[in-house]
Amino acid sequence: MVLSDTQSAIRDAVRAFAQDRIRPNARAYEESRGFPPELFEQLAEFGLMAMTAPQSVGGAGTDYISYALALMEIAAADGALSTILSIQNSLIVASLVNDGTPEQRARFLPDLVTGKAIGAFALTEADAGSDAAAIRTRAVRVEGGYRLTGAKQFISSGRIASIAIVYAVTEPDAGKRGITGFIVPTDSDGYSVDKVEYKLGQAASDTCAIRFDNLFIPASLRLGREGAGYGIALANLEVGRIGIAAQCIGMAQAALDVAIDYAKVRTSFGKPIIDHQAVGFRLADLAARLEAARQLVLHAAAMKDAHQPCLKEASMAKLIASETAEAVASGAIQTLGGHGYLEEFTVAKIYRDVRVCQIYEGTSDIQRMVIARAL
């Protein structure tokens, strides 16, 4: 795909910021298990907290190709940060723009688009991951609103979020049509973080178990009409999966760059190891696979820009990009040999960070199911 001048400029600007400001601090962010709040405001100055949201609500109003390119560059610097950005854009801001009332948008979007607030997307439960319709969290109608009771699992940004978009059952006998979305301020009485998970990778992006204990939600904070929650939750899958696929490309590219640079300077048997066919061919295969995955991602983003249905293409992009990224990170470790297994050479961190991309926003198995149905 040939990028426009504007798309190239956005990519280059985000790359310069990410490499200068984020990448040198990625290890410190991981060790501290979080990001400084001012970093989100700096990202907002680039429009990265609401890239595709219209300018009328404070967003950057950019196209989806530019959005994917920006996520690639942030992910190349730090995978955990790109996860927060992907959720903020595709699941939080987009949900409010598409389904929020004017009052809800006026109340919550200003802080979200300026990086003063982070949102959490609370759909998954311990027994309801891929089968989202099986959620058990209940929202019972009471005077003036609803009482929310239940628990959510694997919620990104659950600890640092100012608001959570929560999906709960309002009509137990209605199946998918009995699920409703709610905007829940996390300082509400009854919202608690049961546990911050200790994970294989992406430690700087907190992942939490959340509990709601008879939490009151005013009717004014219902997202969309009652019973429309399942559709709202799934409506942003195209963009969400494009975003995760894009972050895979960014992390994989960072790992491949390290491997190539190392192979050019590391000598064995009198020449750089990249000149040995075993290493050179490995890197060639990884580069070709990564470029193919990149083009899938950009193609899905281009279809989204053209207002064409692209759930199949987004699922293909996420499937191939996530599995390719793990292969590239593993190949980078192999190229560095023993050094690749050491934390100081960065590819070990990338390997840990990228592995979850085959799980969240729909596992690889779910992507194959979506693609098969489309066939």
Cβ atoms < 10 Å from Cβ of 191: 20
Q: How far is CA 26 from CA 4, 20, 102, in A?
A: 30, 11, 38
Instruction: Give CA–CA dist 12/91, Å, rounded.
Output: 25
Instruction: Give CA–CA dist 9/16, Å, rounded.
Output: 11
Q: What is the DSSP string of 195-239?
A: EE---SS-TTS-EEEEEEEEEEEEGGGEESSTT-HHHHHHHTHHH
The answer to whether 38 is a known catalytic residue is: no
DSSP SS3 for 205: coil
**81, amino acid identity:** L
The encoded tokens of residue 21 equal 């400001």
Instruction: Give CA–CA dist 130/134, Å, rounded.
Output: 9
Find tokens 């309801």 and name the residue. 128
The encoded tokens of residue 205 equal 């992006």
Instruction: Give CA–CA dist 292/213, Å, rounded.
Output: 47
Taking alpha carbons only, the member of 30, 3, 77 closest to residue 198 is 30
Find tokens 């195209």 and name the residue. 238
Q: Are strands 267-268 and 271-272 parallel, antiparallel or unpaired?
A: antiparallel
The encoded tokens of residue 20 equal 């200068």
Helix (H), strand (E) at residue 255: helix 237-265
Q: How far is CA 147 from CA 100, 169, 191, 216, 231, in A?
A: 20, 11, 12, 5, 22
Q: 306 exposed, middle or buried (CB, 10 Å; 0-12, 13-18, 19+)?
A: exposed
Q: Which of 226, 238, 326, 361 is catalytic?
A: 361
Q: Is 296 left (phi over 0), alpha (psi -120 to 50) or beta?
A: alpha
DSSP SS3 for 115: coil
Catalytic residues: 361
